[in-house]
A and B are shown apart, each in its own frame.
Chain A
Amino acid sequence: SQTIHQWPATLVQPVGSPLSLECTVEGTSNPNLYWYRQAAGRGLQLLFYSVGIGQISSEVPQNLSASRPQDRQFILSSKKLLLSDSGFYLCAWEGRAGVEGEAFFGQGTRLTVV
């Protein structure tokens, strides 16, 4: 069966520090991968998506970047965090055969920039 791992669960970082959030998927190959951000009490904002290794599409211009060094690994990064980067970050994969669009989410990372 497929599983998705996202870590860390919580993170407190000072302004100006770098960021690296990692997401890995098991039990499937060539998934579509997504990073979403959820502000408090708000919906999910799509940040990045990837349809293959090294293929990254950005939905919003911002202080963050994403990389996909391996088929089932998706990394969200920042060189210098801003206060406004605080939020709940969710990684998801999609691509189960015959069920297009059904997304499976990691447990999320609560990032607080102080």
Chain B
Amino acid sequence: SQQGEEDPQALSIQEGENATMNCSYKTSINNLQWYRQNSGRGLVHLILIRSNEREKHSGRLRVTLDTSKKSSSLLITASRAADTASYFCATLGGSYIPTFGRGTSLIVHP
């Protein structure tokens, strides 16, 4: 069964705008990760945030984690057309198996 659930399922924005995607999960985790998938390709790891961290940055990416609400958000600032992709959150709990949500499809219009 899927642990993380992203929302929205689809997001369409203009280049230069910020994109925010959310992920909710159900059980306790060791860490949470965000991945990107271009159409028809494998997933690429973007960023990992540990359960004792609240915020993390990597370039134009900002991830927050609220373990009390069992939720995370991924913010992409100043989006570009090349950011068009699907974005997945994955949680790692006691089983040490990455468990993925259904993803958010992001379209950035030039």
Binding site for B on A (CB under 8 A): 6, 32, 34, 36, 41-46, 49, 88, 90, 92, 94, 99-108, 110
A101 & B98 in contact (Cβ 8 Å cutoff): yes
> What residues of A have a CB within 8 angstroms of the CB of B101 in the complex?
43
Q: Which one of A88, A101, A106 lies within 8 Å of B31 (CB-CB)?
A: A101
> Chain A residue with minimal CB distance to B48?
A102
> What residues of B have a CB within 8 angstroms of the CB of A88 in the complex?
40
> What residues of B have a CB within 8 angstroms of the CB of A43 in the complex?
2, 88, 100-103
- Chain A CB within 8 A of B90 CB: yes
> What residues of A have a CB within 8 angstroms of the CB of B90 in the complex?
101, 103
Binding site for A on B (CB under 8 A): 2, 30-31, 33, 35, 40-45, 48, 88, 90, 92, 96-103, 105
B33 & A101 in contact (Cβ 8 Å cutoff): yes
A100 & B2 in contact (Cβ 8 Å cutoff): no
Q: Which one of B42, B48, B96, B97 lies within 8 Å of A105 (CB-CB)?
A: B42
B79 vs chain A, min Cβ distance (A) = 21
A46 to B93, CA, bound (A): 15
Known contacts A34-B98, A43-B2, A46-B97, A104 near B31 by CB under 8 Å: no
> What residues of A have a CB within 8 angstroms of the CB of B99 in the complex?
46
A44 & B100 in contact (Cβ 8 Å cutoff): yes
Q: Which one of A6, A92, A101, A106 lies within 8 Å of B92 (CB-CB)?
A: A101
Q: Which 6 A-B pairs have the closest CB atoms?
A: A101-B92, A105-B42, A43-B102, A44-B100, A105-B43, A107-B42
B42 & A108 in contact (Cβ 8 Å cutoff): yes
8 A-B residue pairs with CB within 8 Å: A34-B97, A44-B100, A46-B97, A90-B43, A92-B98, A100-B92, A101-B30, A103-B35
> What residues of A have a CB within 8 angstroms of the CB of B98 in the complex?
34, 92, 94, 101, 103
